[in-house]
Structure 1
Amino acid sequence: MPRISFPRRLCRPLIVLLAALALLLGAGAGPGWAAPDEGGSKKLRDALEAAAKGHIEATARLDNSKRRQKALTGRLKAVEVRLVELTAQVGEVAAQSYRLGRLTPIAALLDSTTPESFVRRAGELDVMAQRDGRRLRALAEARAEARTAKLAIDAEVREQQKQVVVLAKRKRDAERALAEVSSGTGSGFGGGSASARPAPRNSDGSWPSESCSVSDPTTSGCITPRTLHMLKQAQSAGYQRYVSCHRSGGGGEHPKGRACDFAAAKGGFANVSASGGDKAYGDSLATYLKSNAGRLGVMYVIWYRQIWMPNTGWRAYSGGGSPAADHTNHVHVSMY
């Protein structure tokens, strides 16, 4: 068989081209792969992000306020028990004074018949004064603590009422944002909903602020630690078909490392709407992400002409007609 030779000036570009093709085919994306064109305007994506983030933040503040109120209520109950005990003790002192009359310390000392009894009575009076003083101070402090706890509980109730108003506003914002792409309530999807391991939160229950700071295992870009956690949890739950997260340029969360696209087809992002087993795979994945949104920090999920947000539930979604824009060939998830 004759040996084929190439001019040396063509060898290096050819090697680079072959390496690139091998890398592309080895990634598991399948022939004809291309990053999905999500469709929708930047204005829409920004509005969805603002509405979802606002809802998540208000929910965290509401939950945190409820936890504080519960702790304060427990503290108030304990103080009220102490108040009953201290009030009874101070009542005993008052009753004793009433029965015996108002015996002044000077009169008690003058009633002593010997120097020894004088010293003994002086000591007894000092002990009684310290005891009664402690009881009165403890009663005053308990009353002040109870008043403080009640005021704090009232403040938490007002905070919760405020966050309920915020949540209602964020829901209206989401519905206005969806108006241009949604025709009404969606039906949702069936499928698995195993529990994911929760991503780390702040001590007050809120999500920590994160940047695109860790390597994206699906591309050469970067993603946030929370996005990486979501990706690993989804893969551990069995959703191991092709995924693409970071994407440079454009709007939305992909360039920020806060979004991933999960292909429905085994071969990658085919330019056709999923059906059969591929549709069932996407249904199950979308349900998994929705069910674990609170554990993972999911802002919204888009799949098969439907979008899920925490303040609206599943809604009908139209991205522009193509399988990529309507998300009928991949599941999109945006992270907080």
Structure 2
Amino acid sequence: MAVASRADRLRGLVRTISAATLAVALLTTGAPAQAAPKPTVKQLKKELAALQKESDKLITDYYSSRIAQQKAEKSEKSAREKLAAAQAVYDRESAELRAMAVAQYISGDSGQIAMLTSDRDPTSLLNRMALNQHLVTLQQSRLRGYAQVRDTHQQAKDEADARAKELTQTVDELEKRKKKAEKQIDRIKEKIDQLYIGPGVRRPDGTWVPQLPGGADNITPRMRLVRQLIKERFGVPNGIGCYRAIQDGGEHPLGRACDFMLSRGGAMPSGAEVARGNEIAEWAIKNSKRLGIMYIIYRQRIWHARTGSWRTMSDRGGTTANHYDHPHISVY
């Protein structure tokens, strides 16, 4: 999930936390045996406003870093292209220079002094010397050109190395800013979580008085709130199943349970979806007391609010039956 979209959704959540949240808080604090939430809604909203302001600054810094990265990528690509072109010229010139040296060695040319002291015809010698001088001039020109090609190639290589180093530094800086922004967004989410408290009456021992299901979805207000918060925070793109009429001894027919699907058709979820399921389960444990969550089942394990720990369950014979493709959450 991109940082910008997550932040936009959080801004919307902050703006909408008003009448509905206050109503829930007032109903809860006014109910018997229910202590007022701490910190208060007013305090949480003040903290949220400060966090949101800092979050906006972090997101702006993050996008500035993204722009810098894009510029660095273009510079690095251009430098690599220049280096490739210089490398091609350098290789061609090197090959021609080697061929020239080999040809001179094979010809066995003994030099102009030896030519003048030989018994050959003077005219022929002068013509040969003129030709030899012309070849020497060509060699010198070739060598000067080669030196320029060599220097250009080295410059291109140095520039490419510098741009690659610059790009690496920019990417590292971008990742740091991204993580910092994401941590800030997580802090905002935690503050938003604290604004909500499970509706209904909580007993002195920490358990909750049961609620009747209602509405078109046939679930309790407490379960509806948990479903809403998980959907807003984690997405759950593969669907959420709650009420089932089948009397199986669980909370589904009572409207007190939901399954948050990580895949479809009984398929084993991807690694990313397994991680999403872990995050949902961890969030539910963290918020269990405030929201009235009774137990969580995920990946053939069960966590219960009574014990506060996970234990392994017996094999029920399938991916879905063993809850490998979804976390199950039940409320009191």
Structure with the larger RCO, 1 or 2 (CA within 8 Å, 6+ apart): 1
Highest CA radius of gyration, 1 or 2? 2
TM-score (norm 2): 0.39
TM-score (norm 1): 0.38
